[in-house]
Structure 1
Amino acid sequence: MRAPEQLGPYRYTQSDTSFPLGQDSLALASFATLRRGDRVCDLGCGGGALLLLLAARQSTLTLSGVELSPEDSALARRNLSENGLTGEIYTGDIRRVCKTLPAGGFSLVISNPPYFKAGSGGDGGTARMEEAALTDWCAAAGRLTKNGGRFALVHRPERLTELFLALSRSGLEPKRLQLIQHDAHTPPSAVLVEAVRQGRPGLEVLPTLLMNRRQSYGRHFISGTHPHRQPGGHLPADGGHSG
C-alpha cells in the first residue's frame, strides 16, 4: 500500500498496483456538477478516490461504484468505511454489472475511463488501456443516468469526435466542456465533458484549465477551501496546480 493521502477531510489509501491518483481525476471531481441528494455512480471507481472527492464537496450524496478489480473494489469499500461513509461497490465488468443495476437510478454518473485503445501504442501503460470500449462506457452511463441526470468524464482531446458520437448514441447530450493543458505553450492533454441524459443541444465551452506540472495541485481545494475555487465547481483557467 502507498502512504495514505489527504483528500479534503478524508484519508485515501491506494494500493501499489492500482493506477495512481492524478490531476485529471482531481480536476474531474471539481468539474462535475453536484446537487444536494445526488445519487452518484463512479464507473471504474478503483479505490474510491472520486467518491471521496465528491463526498468532500457535498455531504448528502448516495455513493455507488463499479470496479473490475476485486482488490480495488475491496479497497474502495475500505476507504469509504474508514472515513465514516456508506456506499455500494459492485465488482465486475461495467458491460455486465451495469445491466443488473436499476436503469435511470442515478442523477450523476462519473468516470475516468482508460484513455487508450488496446494495442494503440498509447503511453499510459496497461492500466490506461481499454478493455471495454469507449462506446461501452457511454452506454453504461446512458443506462444508469436518469432523464436530466449528468454524466461527467475526463478523456483525451484527440478522441472527442468518437466520444461525442458515443454519447449521442447513448442518449447523452454534451453540455459542458473544458480542456486541460499544462502550460500555454503545449497542446491540451485532457478534456473534461459533462453530458445530460435527454438534454437539449447547446454546449458551454469553459476557459482552459492550466495545470502546472511542477507545482502542488492543492488537493484540499476539493473540500471548498482552495482560494481559487468557483461556485460552479471548477477552477478558473489560471488556478490549477499539478500534484
Structure 2
Amino acid sequence: MKTEQLGPYTLSWPEGVFPLGGDALALGEFATVRPRWRVCDLGTGSGVLLLLLARRAEGLSLTGVELDPLSARTARSNLERNGLAGEILPADLRSVPLPAGAFDLVVSNPPYFSLGSGGSGGPTRSEEHCALEELCAAAARLVRNGGRFALCHRPERLTDVVCTLRASGLEPKRLKLVSHGPGHPPALLLVEGVRQGRPGLTIEE
C-alpha cells in the first residue's frame, strides 16, 4: 500500500490501482470549484481528484464513478479514512444511474490513447472501454446548465478534445498547456467547458 499526503488528507492505494500522478494534481488545482458544489469524478480511480477538490472548497457533495471494483473500493476507503461523506458507484460511466443535471462540476482524468493510435499507455490509458466522445456525452448529461466539466489530456489531442466538448454541448471556456519547464514543449492539456456556455475561450498561463 502506497500513501501520499494531500494537504489535510491522506491518499492510499494498493498495487493494481492507478497511482497518483502529476496530471491529477494539476487537474485538481485547475478545475473551478465553489463551496457546497455537487461534484462528480468520472473514472475516479483511487478518489484522488475528490480529495484534491475537497481541500479547496468546503461542504462539497462528492460522487465518484469507477468501473474497476478494486479502484472503487479504494476510493470509498479514501473518503471514509479522511472523514469525507460521499458516494462511490462501481459502474460504467456511460450508463451510470445518476440523474441528469445533478452536478455543478464534473471532472475526469480519462484514458489518453485512442484506439488505433499506436500509443502505449497500458489498459488504463486506452480508450478501449470509453472513448472521448462517450466521456463528454456522459459529462454533458450529468452537469447542470451553466455547470462545468474539467479534464486533462495530451496536448496532441487538443483538436479532438475541444471539438468533442463543443459537439457535446460543453463550450470550452478555459484552457491551459503545462510543460515540465522553460524550453520544454507542453506535456499536459487542461480544459474546462461550460454546459450551454457562450463561445469565448481563455488561454491561461
Report the TM-score when normalising by structure 2: 0.96
Gaps of 5+ in 1: 208-243
The separation in 2 between residues aligned to 1:60 and 1:107, in whole angstroms, is 13
TM-superposition CA deviations, 1:217-237 (whole Å, max 9, x none): xxxxxxxxxxxxxxxxxxxxx
Question: Does residue 122 in structure 1 map to residue 119 in structure 2?
Answer: yes
* SS at 2:149 equivalent: strand
Partner of 1:5: 4
| Secondary structure of the structure 1 residue equivalent to 2:114 | coil
Q: What's the secondary structure of 1:75's corresponding residue?
A: helix
8 A Cα contact 2:39 2:105, kept in partner: yes
Task: Name the SS for the 1:114 alignment partner.
Answer: coil
| Greater CA drift, 118-127 or 21-30 | 118-127
Task: Report the equivalent of 2:91.
Answer: 92
Deviates more, 1:37-46 or 1:53-62: 53-62
Pairing partner for 1:112 from 109, 112, 115: 109
Return the offset for 1:119.
Answer: 4.2
Question: How far apart in 1 are the matches of 2:118 and 2:14?
Answer: 25
The residue that corresponds to 1:167 in the other structure is: 165
Q: For residues 108-153 of structure 1, give each alpha carbon's deviation from its aligned partner in whole angstroms, at most 9, with x where no partner exists.
A: 0000001112343223222211121000010000000000000000
Q: How does 1:152-191 map to 2 (within 5 A)?
A: 152-191=150-189
Q: 1:31, 1:169 → 2: CA distance? A: 23
Task: Please tell me whether the aligned partners of residues 39 and 62 of structure 2 are also in contact (alpha carbons under 8 angstroms).
Answer: yes
Corresponding position: 1:151 with 2:127: no
* 1:186 shift after superposition: 2.3
For 1:94 and 1:152, locate their aligned partners in 2 and report how far apart those are by CA, in whole Å. 16
Distance, in Å, in 2 between the alignment partners of 1:17 and 1:85 is 24
**Cα distance in 1 between the residues matched to 2:17 and 2:35:** 30
Residue 36 of structure 1: SS of its match in structure 2?
coil
Look up the match of 1:224: none
Greater mean deviation of Cα atoms: 69-78 or 157-166 = 157-166
CA distance in 1 between partners of 2:162 and 2:197 (Å):
13
Q: Quote the Cα distance in structure 2 between the aligned partners of 1:90 and 1:32.
A: 22
Contiguous gaps of at least 5 residues in structure 2:
none
- Structure 2 contact 18–46 (Cα < 8 Å) conserved: no
In structure 2, the partner of 1:46 is 45
Q: Distance in 2 between matches of 1:150 and 1:10?
A: 24
Q: What is the TM-score with the length of structure 1 in the denominator? A: 0.82
**Match of residue 79 from structure 1:** 78
**Rounded Cα–Cα distance in structure 2 between residues aligned with 1:137 and 1:189:** 21
Runs of 4+ in 1 over 6 A off after TM superposition: none
Query: Whose RCO is larger (CA < 8 A, sep 6+)?
Result: 1
Q: Do residues 67 (structure 1) and 78 (structure 2) align?
A: no
Q: Which residue does the alignment assign to 2:195?
A: 197
Give the structure 2 partner of residue 219 of structure 1.
Answer: none
Q: Which amino acid in the other structure matches residue 205 of structure 1?
A: I
Question: Paired residue for 1:227?
Answer: none
Write 1 or 2 for the structure with the bigger share of strand: 2
Q: What's the CA shift string for 1:75-125, capped at 9, x where partnerless?
A: 11110001101111111211111xx21100000000000111234322322
Q: State how far apart, in whole Å, the 2-side matches of 1:186 and 1:7 are.
A: 27
Counterpart residue identity of residue 145, structure 2: N
**Residue 203 (structure 1) shift:** 0.4
